[in-house]
Amino acid sequence: MRTGLVILGSVIAIIGAGLIVTLFFLSGGPTTTSHFSFDDPGLSPHTDLPEVFALSSSSHVTVGLSWSSSGPANVSLTPAAPCTGSIGACPVGPPVFNWTLNLSGKGSVTANATEYILLVTNPGPGPIKFSAVVTVDYQAGAPLPAWGWGLIAIGGLTLLVIGGIAVFLGLFLPGGVYGPPGEPPDPLDGPEPPPP
């Protein structure tokens, strides 16, 4: 066993593992949360209540919706975009959430639009009390570009492999592989003749 080689290999492997673990801690920045509250104490029968909210531009956004009402309600959350030729927001594509004749609902989805329309409909014969909270989680983008992550990962894996090989050789190579110190043999000397 070669203690020096084992120690050196262990240090190199620890550094490589540290680089790989660092990738997980730097994979995303801190999360910022915004809340939008919508309330109607008396939504009239057969009436729609549209509410539009906008998101800050970001590539890592999660939208959550939690709502409740005192009577059955139809509730949907639909991606939106500015209307062409008029002011306001118009639905784009199918709803991401859609509840029919429910008293409450809850869900979350990764945002694919910068605006959303929350539409509440009271289909019943009497007024209902409605309340909803929309939660928007913004996660800051990764602090390094993709090629930076690749370099760190390759460097960490390379150091792990080198360290592992060094530890393996240090454990299994015999310590006296070169023999005891002394006068090196003369390569011109031939083998000694066998005794008579």
The per-residue pLDDT for range 104-162, each reduced to its tens digit, is 999 999 988 889 999 999 999 999 999 999 999 887 665 566 677 778 888 888 988 99
**Whole-number Å distance between alpha carbons of 96 and 54:** 16
What predicted TM-score, i.e. pTM, was given to this entire model?
A: 0.58
DSSP string, 11-64: HHHHHHHHHHHHHHHSSS--EEEEEEEEEEEEEPTTEEEEEEEE----SSEEEE
Q: Is the pLDDT of residue 81 over 60?
A: yes
For residues 18 and 25, which has the higher predicted lDDT (pLDDT)? 18
For residues 84 and 125, which has the higher predicted lDDT (pLDDT)? 125
Mean pLDDT of the chain, nearest integer: 83
For 31-139, CATH gives: 2.60.120.680
Phi and psi at 149, nearest 5°, equal -65, -40
The per-residue pLDDT for range 53-78, each reduced to its tens digit, is 888 766 678 899 999 999 999 999 99
Mean pLDDT confidence for 15-26: 79
What residues does each domain of the chain span? Answer: 3-26+143-172, 31-139
**Whole-number Å distance between alpha carbons of 104 and 186:** 94
Residue 144, pLDDT score: 62
Mean pLDDT confidence for 84-102: 89
